[in-house]
Structure 1
Amino acid sequence: MDGEVDFEDTADFEWTVRAFEALESGRLRGRVFTADGVVSTHVWGQCPRCAHTLDDRQVHTAVITGPSRETDVADEPPALAVDIACQCGHPHPQAPEGVAGCGVSFRVELVLG
């Protein structure tokens, strides 16, 4: 996209799908950190809607644990769902005053471990 997309307050599932594609291609990246039982995430790269650079850091209050002994080792590793709102820092046409982002919200799942 050209970055001149109008502001739109949207959380349509399409943007989660596009964020997943961006993670797979490396245009968007994410990491999970755990220290002293506190889980935090860092998601950075191109916004799936406006393609501007975003940099999202969050601290999550839920403590995530690994699989229990009853879990089959062949199961997928646990993942953390993270909701992101574009805060790219660029003004977009039609944006409310003081808002610097395209308005999109999307979810990514980051693998723990």
Structure 2
Amino acid sequence: MRRHARGKRPQFYEAQGLDQAMSMIMVLASEFSALRDRLDTVERVATENGLGAAIEAYVPPQDVLEERETRRQAFLDRLYYLALKDAAEAAEADTAERFKTTIEDIAKG
């Protein structure tokens, strides 16, 4: 199970959720930048070696698809880190009594 840093995070924006959104944007920006550099390298090497058609025709085997899915899930874990952390903290702070009260409030309409 992934561990989270304890304690209050600094909040930079007043609007609820904006800090989380900015964190997600920064993860996406760093991922995109690294991906773009890597893709540029692959395209240059492929062009120099006449591999364009082979790349277009490639069909990945199951083990490659599974590896990609594992990488994708790790990326999503990083992207949604703060939202998942907040949800985990909320779940830890929740009590059976609070749940019961909430259900009763909903039932009252």
Q: Smaller-chain TM-score range?
A: under 0.3
TM-score, with normalisation over the residues of structure 1?
Answer: 0.24
Which has more helix, going by share of residues? Answer: 2
Greater relative contact order (Cα < 8 A, sep 6+): 2
What TM-score do the two structures reach when normalised by structure 2? 0.24
